[in-house]
Structure 1
Amino acid sequence: MADQHDDGPDRAHRRPPGVSDATVEALGALSKALETTERARGHLYSFHQLTGTADFQLDEAVDLLRRAGHAEWADKVRAEIVGRNVVPGHWTFQIVEAYDETYHRPFTLLAREAVDRLAGGRDHLYEAELKQRRRGTDRG
């Protein structure tokens, strides 16, 4: 079986001629920032799903309050919390949509354009070169 560490970066992850160390480092920082927004976006989806789940779980709480003889509290929870917007005028999915439209999509497009124009469309050059340095020059 071949050593899994013997393979170097493929052509798509090798620095094109004329691309400086400073450019590779800058694009690496841009990529890292974009990856952080991907994580933030995932947390927004978690926020959306968890808030929706909690809202549906309130149905059981309302039912149990009513069965326990606390109809006034059941009515209060249903009237004041069930289906309530988390931000005035916005459902959770609208917050996700606004993040995508206002921040995530423009950031993604800008990062793609920067890689295309500054590095010939070759992604993750910083990471590929870092991995090669960590492996050592004798391992390909």
Structure 2
Amino acid sequence: MRKNSIKNTRINGEVQKELSVIISMEVKDPRINPMTSVVAVEVTPDLKYAKAYISVLGDEESKKSTYEGLTKASSFIRSQLAKRLNLRNTPELSFVMDQSIEYGVSMSKKIDDVNKASNKSEEDASDVAEGDEAENGEEN
């Protein structure tokens, strides 16, 4: 099976969906932040290993404790995954903290700041232009 085959893509999607449900509903570890989401899952073609990209909304301490909680609960999560999905092999899970959502939010904030500054400078320029027109109109 090729890495990017349709079958592998479907398996990645199903594992991601079930993993997000298991993490949010089944795992009772208090270290895991409730705002934890599974961004993507990459399952190897032989179905032995899976890399789950996890995003956590919160500070660094929250991310670290969530990672530790997920690592400790990986065997439980794997057993739940085996019960829910009918795969030849249930993949061994490894978790990777993904910063893409956080990066996207920060970039969006920066773009908004630039747009606000641009709009303000345009308004200031139009105010100056209107003032010049008013002065020119009074002289005639």
TM-score (norm 1): 0.31
User: Which of the pair is proportionally richer in strand?
Assistant: 2
Tell which has more relative contact order, 1 or 2 (C-alpha 8 A, sep 6+).
Answer: 1
TM-score (norm 2): 0.31
